[in-house]
Structure 1
Amino acid sequence: MEDRFVQGSIAGLIAGIAMNIVNLILVMVFSFGEDLLVNYAAEMLLGSTPGFLFEYIISFVAHIVWTMLLGILFAYMILIVDSSYMLYKSWFFSITTWFLLYSVGILFEVPLLEVTSVSTATSNMITSSVYGLLLGYIFMRLSHNPE
């Protein structure tokens, strides 16, 4: 596959779905953290956490589109910094994005981010790490880059 835009969006899509699955398991099965990632998307999109199934679906789709956009940005960023150490760079990209989004959320007083527990922040950092590592791995596979 030669199209960098498509490679990035597919990698972001798959990594984003995996990220949401890991988040769901951490929060719902292990009670590690209080908020699902879909809640953050709903807060930004709807102004509140989802209450109905349709709101969850719309928020999930919005979050996946966001992860696809991040995948596209990563795909083009790699042109600038080169593709060696891809997994490290993709992990660093995702952790930096996680930190920046938390910071912006606190600055703009997004309700779910104003005060958050250590377990929720750690859970989101773990899911961001999963996203970043999968993003880099899938992007490498799609671009046939063995590095």
Structure 2
Amino acid sequence: MDRFFRGFTAGIVGGVAMNLWSLIAVFVLNLEILRFVDWASILLFGDLPANHAEGAVALFIQLLWVGFLGSIFAFLIPQVTSRGYLIKGALFGVVSGFFIYAIPILFQVPILREHTLATVLSNITGGIIWGLTLAQTLHWLDRKTKAPQK
């Protein structure tokens, strides 16, 4: 597995973790927030998912997106050294989220241009979870790749 696919895989693993957080926030903590799958659905369909098929497509595309971001992280991390990779992963998750928030606001995307404090804090938490999981998974995959083959 090359660096791109290790980053892509780590990004998807982190995406699963962040979407699990989103489900916990909504169904366990009863927070009224826009979930990550809702963001993807609004950008794809112009509205919240109307059915399970739209939700599945939105989730698939959202996981591809975080996989792509994971590939970017995988190529950035050797440029700045892997020391403190968990902090760098968490920071990458929060900074990526900031830019992802800015784009719909700049383009005045309905539903995504205004957010509640609960949504913002939940999505920052999800971004941190994604970044930590991304960094740890990439670190594990990198170490596994460098291990001697039997």
The TM-score bracket by the shorter chain reads over 0.9
Task: Please tell me whether the aligned partners of residues 33 and 123 of structure 1 are also in contact (alpha carbons under 8 angstroms).
Answer: no
1:10 aligns with 2:9: yes
Q: Does the residue aligned with 2:65 lie in a helix, a strand or coil?
A: helix
Match of 2:61 in 1: 62
The one-letter code of the counterpart of 2:110 is: P
Task: Please tell me whether the aligned partners of residues 11 and 139 of structure 1 are also in contact (alpha carbons under 8 angstroms).
Answer: yes
2 CA distance for matches of 1:67 and 1:11?
A: 9
Aligned pair count reads 144
1:122 aligns with 2:121: yes
Structure-2-length-normalised TM-score: 0.91
Moved over 3 A (4+): none
Task: Please tell me whether the aligned partners of residues 40 and 112 of structure 1 are also in contact (alpha carbons under 8 angstroms).
Answer: no
1:49 aligns with 2:48: yes
Match of 1:113 in 2: 112
Gaps of 5+ in 1: none
Post-superposition offset of 1:32: 2.2
* Identical columns (%): 33
The one-letter code of the counterpart of 1:38 is: V
Instruction: State which drifts further: 4-13 or 107-116.
Output: 107-116
Match of 1:77 in 2: 76
Task: Please tell me whether the aligned partners of residues 26 and 32 of structure 1 are also in contact (alpha carbons under 8 angstroms).
Answer: yes
Q: Does the residue aligned with 1:114 lie in a helix, a strand or coil?
A: coil
1:26 aligns with 2:25: yes
Match of 2:95 in 1: 96
Name the CA shift for 1:56/1:123 in 2 (closer, same or farther; >3 Å). Answer: same
Please show how residues 129-144 of structure 1 align to structure 2 within 5 Å. 129-144=128-143
1 CA distance for matches of 2:20 and 2:108?
A: 27
Gaps of 5+ in 2: 145-150
The one-letter code of the counterpart of 1:39 is: D
Q: Does the residue aligned with 2:64 lie in a helix, a strand or coil?
A: helix
Aligned-residue Cα RMSD (Å) equals 1.3
